[in-house]
Amino acid sequence: MFSRQSNNDEDFENLFSVATSGNHQHLNARSIVSYHGVDTGNGVWKCSKDRIHQCIHINLARDHFQKLITSDPSTLVEHSGPNVAVAPGTD
């Protein structure tokens, strides 16, 4: 899932539900990644499961964020493994 809310003209709060194992359906197999900032991706990234700055969940969400913002499905697919779930109508 992906959620986006505007804080002002250029600043957004973005939330991603990122699968952390092979079973994407269970909630305990997912992590919530938040991004607060402008569309450059250089704002504040936080993960609900890992408290480090560059965990796999943040990297997956960041790659997906770039695809959504640029509307280019080929943008940065450098991390293998679980995918970010996207709600219908947000991709």
CA distance to 22, 73, 74, 82, per residue, from 34 (Å): 22, 21, 22, 17
- How does pLDDT run across 9-63, given as a tens digit for each residue? 788 999 999 886 665 566 667 889 999 999 888 899 999 987 777 788 899 899 8
Q: Is the pTM of this model over 0.75?
A: no
Tokens at 69, concatenated: 């913002």
The pair of three-digit structure tokens given for residue 18, joined into one six-digit string = 């990122």
CA dist., res. 33 & res. 16, Å (int): 5
